[in-house]
Amino acid sequence: MSSSVEQKYPLAPLVINHNVVSEPDRKLLQDALIWSIKTSTNYLHQSVSGNKPNEFEVFRQRRKNAFELIQIFDGCAYAPYDPSARLRNKTFPRVAMAEAELPMHLIETIRAVLWDFITVPDHMNEETHEWVKRLMGYFNTEE
Amino acid sequence: MRLISINGHHLSESQINCLREILVVEITSHSETIRTKRTDDMTVFYHYRQMAFNLLQLIDEDPIAPLQQFADPDGHAGPDVCGEPVVIIDNVKVNYLTRMETRMAISAAGFNLEELKKVQKEKGFDIKNHNDLLKMIFEPK
């Protein structure tokens, strides 16, 4: 990659709650969300082949939210939310990105994805647990 | 049982599943590219990743999929499909699908080929070659 291209298209930092997400963490975050899209797709496939269980809508929505999060984290789509919304709604979450705030349903999605990821038997190891815990920390909504 | 027809070709469950896998691979590989590489036109990767996801949503009957993004430049959108229990991707969207196919074919023939082969092997698809599938469904009948 030429330096001119790098200068022309710099990689925008991902900032969540005033914390710059490191490149390794950024990759892990993307990996977890891609994993969620894959597993949700597998689940939806099994569901549409037979009867639709109650969780069908949950996984379809989760896949949609996971994709939206990937886009936001890549900087190709800012969260289309009114920045002043929090002023009108005291309960609006305070997970702030560099130029946007994540709404609660997306925060819940990323938490659910990370939680599901760690509960997969193959992922139950100290290293994975450590980085999942670290990523969870970015999405703390407490003041 | 649902029916998915693309460009007049009815897809079997196995073929639909194969298409799903291809689209997930597309999303994965484009995401990796977007995160790690800077090119002269990153919007291409954003665009195709978005289209791959839209198609994935559509074949899973997502009524809230942003179908208007399937519109071609002439404004041929797909609101008539939205919400219907049977998903038919008809020839109205052939222009869109042709563009999609172009990218997918390039991608599948290139860096995604090995990944797709691995996925097909793992899933035990009865499709000999994913290119045959893509060629079939994206060519107007």
- Asked if A69 and A109 count as a contact pair (C-beta separation under 8 A), the reply is yes
B89 beta partners: B6
Q: For A108-118, how does the pLDDT look when each residue is reduced to its tens digit (9 = 90+)?
A: 999 999 999 98
| Confidence check: pLDDT of A54 > 60 | yes
Residue A97, helix vs strand vs coil: strand
- Residue B37: the pLDDT is 73
User: Taking the CA of residue B27 as centre, how many other CA atoms within 13 Å lie in the half-sphere pointing to its CB?
Assistant: 29
Helix (H) or strand (E) holding B6: strand B5-6
Report chain B residues whose CB lies below 8 A from the CB of A3: none
Instruction: Find the angle CA(B33)-CA(B37)-CA(B39) to the nearest 5 degrees.
Output: 105
pLDDT confidence band for A37 (50 / 70 / 90): very high
**A42 vs A94, higher pLDDT:** A42
Report chain A residues whose CB lies below 8 A from the CB of B38: 1, 5-6, 8-11
Tokens of B140: 């107007």
Question: Which residues make Cβ contacts (< 8 Å) with residue A27, sequence separation at least 6?
Answer: B35
**Which pTM does this prediction carry?**
0.70
- Residue A21: the pLDDT is 85
Tokens of B46: 């954003």
- Asked if B37 and A44 count as a contact pair (C-beta separation under 8 A), the reply is no
Is A41 close to B64, i.e. CB distance below 8 A?
A: no
Q: For B23-68, how does the pLDDT look when each residue is reduced to its tens digit (9 = 90+)?
A: 888 888 888 887 877 666 666 677 778 777 877 777 776 543 333 3
